[in-house]
Chain A
Amino acid sequence: MLGLNKKDTSLFLLVLALVVFAPLLLNPFPEGSELAQFNAGYPDLMQRFLIFGIFAVGFNILFGLTGYLSFGHAAFLGVGSYAGVWMMKLLTMNVIPAIFMSVVFAGLFSLLVGYISLRRSGIYFSILTLAFAQMSFSLAYSVLTPITNGETGLQLALNDPRVLGVSQVDGSIPAANFFGIAMRDSFELSMGGWLFTFNAGYYLCAVVMMVAFYVAIRIFRSPFGMMLRAVKSNQQRMNFTGLNSKPYTLAAFVISGMYAGLAGGLMVAMDPLAGAERMQWTASGEVVLMTILGGAGTLIGPVLGAGFIKYCENIFSKINDNILYDWFAGLPEGLADFLVFVIHPFIGKGWHLTLGIMFMLIVIFLPGGIMEGFERIGRLFKRKPSSGESVSAKTSTTPAE
């Protein structure tokens, strides 16, 4: 289907089903129940799943395939966001031009950064991208304030010109929309104790995400994708094989930059504002983390990684001591106190600590991320791996010399 082979088609359909039914699947616990806090089926969070999923899928095209570790991809997301907000300020509240221009601007910016950074490889490349991102971040805060509105961040205002629309509706800023369908419009479905929210913005993200995912699959399975893996594997051999690795890596860099811009544009479409902190290097670190956590170089890994981190971020930072005491209500008081004391540093504001630890554990024990974990579990259940399978496994074995 769609020019994909059987395996990829089922993968695509699986992701499609998950995305379409996410509002149902992510709300397994009835409203008002103890466990309702673990529900993730509300629009804001689900949108973030998809947006960061796109970001990570794009980053993976660069890092997963070519092995070039960029520490500056948040800059492209930031540039995309600013471009998106400006489109909404100047042109129309329809989100399509905003998203389109986000991709264009991020693409142009990544072309510039990539052209320079890719003249070096390895850690030098990482540091160059980091330097560019930090530079953009600093500039967004200082000199570029007329464009970025500095620390406050760029927002819509009541007196925006908006050539193809109106400046204000009944004294307030008009809503971001897709040809009249407001992004914040939701349809709520109440079934028994359950409440499901189907949000227009979420489904726009879903469509964009599926397109982005489809493109990624096609790239992975194309000669172009194979060449990118060749870059990672042995750039020297590649050059002596008559291939110019530079345009390949640059193309991968720009494509992943455009994915980042797309994510930035969608963020703006969901919530029309943009701030410099989106460009900070910790934000770049986050997408690296998502990709690694899910499994760099795999198709679906980055999507899982993004979802996992955003879900944990949301849940962990919401839990507080009172909730913990509720959970441990059955335990003796001393034990409950002790448990709360032990868990306390990792929840609420301590979420980043949990994240850091998780990240280290993954890099140390499971460098292939969640996908490698699945593979290992799968191998445990497959009792006798035939000789053919064991060698074709994705793990690269050391040369037998």
Chain B
Amino acid sequence: MEILKVEGVNKSFGGLRALNNVNFKVEEGTVHAIIGPNGAGKSTFLNCMIGRLVPDTGTVMFGDVSLTGMKPHQINQVGVSRVFQTPEIFGDLTLLENVMIPTLAKRDGEFALHAFVRVDQDTEVRDKALHMLEDVGLVEKREMVANSLSRGDKRRLELAMCLSQDPKLLLLDEPTAGMSRADTNNTIDLLKRIGDRGITKVVIEHDMHVVFSLAQKVTVLAQGAIIAEGKPEDIKGDPRVQEAYLGGAHL
């Protein structure tokens, strides 16, 4: 069954056609990678899905909910979480608070005036957050300020924040960008592990190693249009993809 269905999405910036009639489906429970050369429109596409940008035409359906025109917080509330290319975390807050906030958002909705409850006595939320931190291996650092983390740790924290909401769909924008090989492998392991929870994932990625270790399906985007789609091994051999991606060299 499809969890995400994008139909006929167009998006232009001035004269630049960033997305050209994109149709795209994600099967529930799979890991779906979007690859493509720089400037192919991957980030624009992702932004159109999460409400950061509004597509000029076309629809984005999440299950039977239309995401087009919804505000970011509403999209999150229906079950879509996002990991950014540069980690977006609450830098001045502690790690524990960083994870408690999304957990609360999931439980209490987009706004709750709980001004007379003590946050440190909310054991349900606290335990859940601690559990998540443990999953990503940051539980010892829970009282640290998030800004003092290394970049790799920040990304893991962001992942924990997203996972704490038990999203139905997780969007990851280049989750290993700028990481060392060792960190990349750690992240792959982590993503594989959380894959067991049955969360559907859409990954935008540069690193083919990551794509082929994670994804069950790959979509190739070039110059704002989808040029190929299929299983990783098929994509590997597709001459169109090699043409677009590497100018003919082998992957």
Contact = CB atoms under 8 A, between A and B. Distances in A.
Q: When A and B assemble into the complex, do they touch directly, with CB atoms less than 8 Å apart? A: yes
B13 interface: no
Interface in A348-401: 388, 391-394, 396-401
Interface in A245-273: 245, 247-248, 251
Interface in A180-239: 218-219, 221-227, 229-230, 232-234, 236-239
A243 B110 contact: yes
B192 interface: no
Contact of A222 (B115, B150, B154, B165): B115
A241 interface: yes
Contacts of B110: 242-244
Nearest to A224: B115
Nearest to A250: B111
A3 interface: yes
Interface in B89-125: 89-94, 97, 100-102, 104-106, 108-120, 122
A172 interface: no
B91 A234 contact: yes
A227 B94 CA distance: 13
A394 B81 CA distance: 29
A5 interface: yes
B76 interface: yes
A240 interface: yes
Interface stretch (B55-63, B139-147, B208-216, B243-251): B139-147
Interface in A1-19: 3, 5
Q: Name the residue in B92, B114, B151 with the highest tally of chain A Cβ atoms < 10 Å from its Cβ.
A: B92
Contacts of A238: 73, 90, 101
Given A224-B113, A234-B91, A244-B73, A400 B97 contact: no
Nearest to A388: B143
B91 A226 contact: no
A239 B73 contact: yes
Contacts of B120: 5, 221
Count chain B CB atoms within 10 A of each CB in A240, A251, A394 and give the residue with the most: A240
Interface string B125-150: 00000000000000000011101111
B50 interface: yes
A396 B145 contact: yes
A3 B81 CA distance: 35
Interface residues of B, number: 48
Contacts of B145: 391-394, 396-397
A223 B117 contact: yes
DSSP majority for the A interface? helix
B93 A219 contact: no
Contacts of B92: 229, 232-233, 396
Nearest to A392: B143
Chain B CB within 10 Å, residue with most, of A5, A221, A398: A221
B118 A230 contact: no
Given A223-B117, A239-B72, A397 B106 contact: no
A226 B119 contact: yes
A243 B111 contact: yes
A233 B90 contact: yes
Contacts of A251: 113
A67 to B, nearest CB: 10
Nearest to A8: B118
A252 B105 CA distance: 18
Nearest to B52: A240
Residue in A234, A241, A244, A398 with the greatest tally of chain B CB atoms within 10 Å: A241
A371 to B, nearest CB: 16
B89 A237 contact: yes
A218 B116 contact: yes
B118 A240 contact: no
Contacts of A239: 71-73, 76
20 contacts: A5-B118, A218-B118, A221-B120, A222-B115, A223-B108, A224-B113, A224-B114, A227-B104, A233-B91, A233-B93, A241-B105, A241-B165, A242-B106, A244-B73, A397-B147, A397-B148, A399-B91, A399-B148, A399-B154, A400-B148
Interface of B: 50, 71-73, 76-77, 81-82, 84, 88-94, 97, 100-102, 104-106, 108-120, 122, 143-145, 147-151, 154, 161, 165
Interface of A: 3, 5, 218-219, 221-227, 229-230, 232-234, 236-245, 247-248, 251, 388, 391-394, 396-401
Given A223-B114, A240-B82, A248-B111, 5 more contacts: A219-B115, A222-B116, A227-B104, A238-B73, A239-B73
Which 3 pairs between the two chains have the least Cβ-Cβ distance?
Answer: A242-B76, A233-B90, A244-B110
